Structure 1
Amino acid sequence: MSGFTNVLSDHPRAPASLDVPQPRHGAVALTADASQVRIARRFVATLVTGWGIEAELVDSVVLVVGELAANAAEHGGSYMYVSAVLAGAELCVNVTDLGPRAMSAVPAAGEERGRGLGIVDCLADWFDVTHRPQAHTACVGFHVPGAGSRQVPCEQFTAT
């Protein structure tokens, strides 16, 4: 999971000052089952910790992934996909579930459940959910202090 290879910078005639941001990425496919939420959290924690992201942000990312993976396990179909990309100073995390049911963004009055997306919205710098007939993707973004001055928009790495 070392990321993309910068073929140009390894070329003997490449300019010495070539400054191409090197996105780092990782993805995992899991069954959409509550027992897999722990694996999704551990996967992302290991991935982003290995990228040198500070512990406080790692904790927030892991909590967000846990909430989104739990939603995918409860509302999704047979599989969920978790992916993360660190590009410049932006960390983008996507959780996609394959299932026809959309997640409810607002809990009903008196409900003890249903506040996970509110937690996600509070912790992430940005948050969006895309609904398709048989899949739903939650995209979250975090600014990573000190990760790089050149930012590459997360949209470049979001699956369509």
Structure 2
Amino acid sequence: MLTSVSSPDDHRTMPTTAPRAPHRTPNAQGSTVPPRVASVSAPAHPRWISDVRRFAAVTLGSWSLPPDDLDSAILVTAELAANAAVHGRADLSVTLRLTGRTLRIEVTDFGPNTRTAAIDTSGDEQSTDEHGRGLIIVRALAHRLDRINTANATSMIADLTVASP
């Protein structure tokens, strides 16, 4: 990653770090392919979830994911974003990263914590509540699901194994 600062003397841009080669993963034919990464941010409000879903559909479709994997990934993205919109902080970001056959979907809510509701991560499938089944769906589709909490943010990270695009 190359970051830059402006020099006050001559207004040139000077690199502050050297660029690094992206991590490359061998594909089925043995060649290396750099990871594909795309991100979007939005207010953490339910009305923005359709835009997040559309972002995932367009992005992952352009990466030529097979139809079944595409449907699963869009569903996981929408479920995690909906949880962030309902239970999270003021803003959310979604990052999609395809490295080899692993698709990582990371949804982070951040900003002031204005909500008091908590996400039930117990996985209690016997619940009679009409809500709260999103993470059960995500767990069924992902081979890994992690939650990272900090003072200012919560990230839900789901890894899906996809067929080679």
Length-normalised TM-score, structure 1 = 0.75
More helix by share: 1
Report what 2:96 is aligned to: 84
Structure 1 counterpart SS, 2:159: strand
Partner of residue 123, structure 1: 141
User: 1:109 offset after TM fit, Å?
Assistant: 4.3
Contact 2:146 2:158 in 1 (8 A): yes
Structure 2: distance between partners of 1:88 and 1:66: 22
1:73 to partner: Cα distance? 0.6
Amino acid at match of 1:129: R
Between Structure 1 and Structure 2, the one with more strand by share is 2
Q: CA RMSD in A?
A: 2.3
Q: How does 1:83-102 map to 2 (within 5 A)?
A: 83-98=95-110, 100=113, 102=118
Asked if 1:139 is matched to 2:157, the reply is: yes
Q: Percent identity?
A: 32
Counterpart residue number, 1:29: 41
State how many pairs are aligned. Answer: 133
Q: Secondary structure at the match of 2:132?
A: coil
What is the letter of the counterpart of residue 115 of structure 1?
A: R
Q: TM-score if structure 2 supplies the norm length?
A: 0.73
Gaps of 5+ in 1: 8-18, 148-160
Cα deviation code 1:64-110 (max 9, x no counterpart): 11111111111112110000011111111100012645422136943
Opposite residue 95 of structure 1, the aligned amino acid is: V
For the pair shown, the structure with the greater C-alpha radius of gyration is 2
